[in-house]
Amino acid sequence: MKVLVDLSVVPLGVGLSLSKYVAACERVLKEAGLKTALHANGTNIEGDWDEVFAAVRRCHEVLHDMGVPRVSATLRVGTRTDRVQSLEDKVRSVEEKMK
Residues forming contacts to its own copies in the complex (CB under 8 A) are 1, 3-4, 6, 8, 10, 12-13, 15-16, 18-20, 22-23, 26-27, 37-42, 44, 49-50, 53, 56-57, 60-61, 64, 69-82, 87-88, 90-91, 93-98
**Residue 1 Cβ vs its own copies, minimum distance, rounded to whole Å:** 7
**Residue 18 Cβ vs its own copies, minimum distance, rounded to whole Å:** 8
| Helix (H) or strand (E) segment spanning residue 21 | helix 19-31
C-alpha dihedral sign at 17, 59, 26, 81 = negative
**Residue 72 Cβ vs its own copies, minimum distance, rounded to whole Å:** 5
Bridge-based pairing of strands 42-48 and 35-39 is antiparallel
DSSP 86: -
